[in-house]
Amino acid sequence: MKHSLRKTIRAAAVASSLLCAGALAQEAHAAGDDQLNGIHAGDVLVRLRAISIMPNVETNQSLSALNVGVNNAIVPELDLTYMIRDYLGVELILGTSRHQLTSSLGKLGGVNVLPPTLLLQYHFNHAGRIRPYVGAGINYTYFYNNGLNAGGQPISITNHSFGPALQAGVDVQVTRSLFVNADIKKIWMHTDASLGAQPLGRLSIDPVVVGLGVGMRF
């Protein structure tokens, strides 16, 4: 009887140990999943995208009469996001492109555009693998390396502008640190042109920017 009781106690102890081990393993697995999935306050996200810049051109005064247009461009873009809350991030977008201008008189030349943009982002499903987000912020555009001319005379432009920016996108996590990204932005930017002392009008570029890329979480 005593031998049987001892066996029962030992069996109960083994079963209890197995149950405890199983519970601990389950907790560790859940904790690992939590660390693998999602983003959290303090995380830094770095994305590298290939972007297509598609201007939505509007003009006035003489530029309208000349039917001025701006070509599309495909360039790389780098952005940095700092998560100030699990669901809230601040993103700085960096990239530059060169655009050629055309008119009813022919080619007008090219100009480089540098539009650093600062956005406040809201991330949905921040703890999951698939994380949509939206953002809104401000854009500063710097126009440089101006090669515009008409009839051999240089066209002068104002070299900067400020405007709003809107964004929507999604991150899809692949590994603990790596994710893929799709993103679309609308950015408002403009410049005023003149030929000699004669104003030509305002050129609003206001592109839609579509991007695909990869990102790392740090």
pLDDT at 8 over 90: no
- pLDDT at position 196 is 86
pLDDT at 120 over 90: yes
Residue 74: DSSP 8-state: E
pLDDT at 21 over 50: no
Q: Give me the mean pLDDT over the 110-128 stretch.
A: 96
Distance CA 103, CA 192 (A): 16
Assess whether 93 and 9 both reside in one domain. Answer: no
Assess whether 57 and 106 both reside in one domain. Answer: yes
Q: Domains in the chain: how many in total?
A: 2
Assess whether 19 and 62 both reside in one domain. Answer: no
Assess whether 122 and 61 both reside in one domain. Answer: yes
- pLDDT at position 20 is 40
> What's the domain range around 74?
40-217
- pLDDT at position 1 is 45
CATH of the domain at 90: 2.40.160.20
pLDDT at 93 over 60: yes
Assess whether 60 and 90 both reside in one domain. Answer: yes
**How would residue 133 be classed by pLDDT, with cut points 50, 70 and 90?**
very high
Q: Which of 199, 160, 201 is nearest to 57 (CA)?
A: 201
Distance CA 2, CA 4 (A): 5
Assess whether 32 and 60 both reside in one domain. Answer: no
Assess whether 22 and 104 both reside in one domain. Answer: no
The mean-pLDDT minimum among 5-14, 50-59, 79-88, 169-178 falls in 5-14
Assess whether 1 and 72 both reside in one domain. Answer: no
Say if residue 108 is exposed, middle or buried (CB neighbours under 10 Å; 0-12, 13-18, 19+): buried
Across the chain, what does the average pLDDT equal?
87
